Structure 1
Amino acid sequence: MTRTITLIGKPECHLCDDAREAVSRVVAGLEPAASITIEEKSILDDEALYTKYWEQIPVVLIDGEQHTFWRVDEKRLAAALTDA
């Protein structure tokens, strides 16, 4: 099963940079058989995302469902990705 992580943020956002690094570390630490796609979306490119998330960025979605915002708890993210 392929899982999709979506990172919603904006350019020049230090918290977004931190979230990207945390997500990358978590995915790198998972079993090699884990099939995970990481995509990024900017609130500056999508009015609906801006309206919904502008106060929460960065936002991490797993398979389209909001997992967290502002800070990524790496243990919690890893657990969510392995409890499919």
Structure 2
Amino acid sequence: MTTTPDPAAAVPDVALLVKDGCHLCADAIAVVDEVCTRLGVPWRAVDVARDPVLAERHAEEIPVLMVDGVQRDFWRIDPLRLERLLAAGRP
């Protein structure tokens, strides 16, 4: 018996940790939105001001790109690296 891969399992969880007043965050949002929109991958921005643990852990690294719960980039998001990361987990 063969199993069919679950298409939902192949969709990466992309989160961008941001904060108000961060000029690098605005740039990162534009990069993540462009790459994820082009690839059809949903993503979300997470305001670290709403989560004290994240704010403390990443205080000096904002913005931070998380893919499937793993930190993949910070400060400046590389669009080519993001595209490779997202494409690697797809059939």
Interval of TM-score (by shorter of Structure 1 and Structure 2): 0.7 to 0.9
**Which structure: greater strand fraction?**
1
Indicate the structure (1 or 2) with the bigger Cα radius of gyration. Answer: 2
RMSD: 1.1
Structure 2 CA distance for aligned equivalents of residues 22 and 61 of structure 1? 14
Percent identity between matched residues is: 34
Distance 2:37 2:16 in 1: 16
The residue aligned with 1:21 is: 30
Which one has the bigger helix percentage? 2
Alignment TM-score, normalising by the size of structure 1: 0.88
Q: Describe the superposition over 1:23-67 as per-residue Cα deviations: whole angstroms up to 9, x where unpaired.
A: 01111222xxx4x22111112111100111010000000011101
State how 1:4-83 maps to structure 2 within 5 Å. Answer: 4-30=13-39, 34=40, 36-83=41-88
Instruction: Count matched residues.
Output: 80
Task: Give 5+ residue unaligned stretches, structure 2.
Answer: 1-9
Q: Which runs of 5+ in 1 are unaligned?
A: none
